[in-house]
Amino acid sequence: MFLSVIMLVVGFVLLIKGADFFVDASVGIAQKLRIPSTIVGLTIVSLGTSAPEAVVSITASLAGSNELAVGNIVGSNLFNLLFIIGICAVIKPFAVNFGEISRDFIISILAAILLFLVIFLGGELIPRWVSLLLFGLFLFYIGFLIVQALKNRVDEEKSDVLPRKMWLNLLLIGLGLAGIVFGGQLTVTGAVDIAHAMGMSERIVGLTIVAIGTSLPELMTSVVASKKGETGIALGNVVGSNIFNILGILGIAGLISPLAVDAALVQDIIVLIAGSLLALAFVFTGRRISRAEGVIMSVIYLAYMGWIIYA
């Protein structure tokens, strides 16, 4: 237990510093390429911070722990959507460019609905052809984002981050990603050891300890970005990660091995869809997420996690 706690602490340190490097370098790349920071958040940042989810779910699939792979993704998306956005708003309420994020927010909701239908109608197994479909949709989405980014270059954005040469930004991206991935792995390993010692089920472990652990990079990155005023990266990171988790990671994991799922995950996905609609309503009505709305989102997440643990 002592070693597990040490791993958690070291993991947190690596996550925080890695996220700091990652955000600064991402902003620098956006400035150099004249690409909106929201696009950077949806692509480079979201893919980088989702690396722990990818590693855990793919490893779980290879090991035959498919319920853990799917539970990790659903739990991570719940944490990303309700808790991370909520905490960012509590720390610093932020305005949202609805025009930039609306399409991708809706895509993340549609991805969650698709996963719900697959599990609800498909029974206890997600076949390989469905995983291939998910991964194909992910590749199409990433290609679309790249084309849009090239078409919609903007004037250099103002930022508190000092201009850097591209090679230095890429170096910081690498260092930040390394800190995020290794920190996430240390955190998850320590957390899983503690969870198993407590006798938690595979679904609950995936939805809670593992999901939160693998989502710490998104949390740290979005919080740091929000504090720096880079709300496009903060929100784009969460939305992009949620799309990547469902379409990309489950697609890859399911291609490795058909995914067995716990029927109880249906209710978790319903909560994810409902939470997504709530967040979209907050953004749509006020073009911002206020501190009070952030509290509501965070409390909903904590209450639901408490319910599934003690139910």
Q: What is the mean pLDDT of residues 66-94?
A: 84
pLDDT (0 to 100) of residue 177: 79
Statement: residue 226 has pLDDT above 50: yes
pLDDT (0 to 100) of residue 298: 93
Q: How far is CA 186 from CA 40, 47, 200, 216, 241, in A?
A: 27, 19, 20, 11, 20
Please give the full DSSP string across 154-208, using - where no structure is assigned. Answer: -SPPP-SSPP--HHHHHHHHHHHHHHHHHHHHHHHHHHHHHHHHTT--HHHHIII
pLDDT band at 272 (very low <50, low <70, confident <90, very high): very high
What is the helix (H) or strand (E) element at residue 149, kind and residue range? helix 128-151
* pTM reported for the whole predicted model: 0.76
Burial of residue 148 (CB within 10 Å: 0-12, 13-18, 19+) is middle
- Report pLDDT digits (tens) over 37-63: 666 666 666 666 676 777 777 777 776
Among the residue ranges 21-30, 133-142, 155-164, 208-217, the one predicted with the least confidence is 155-164
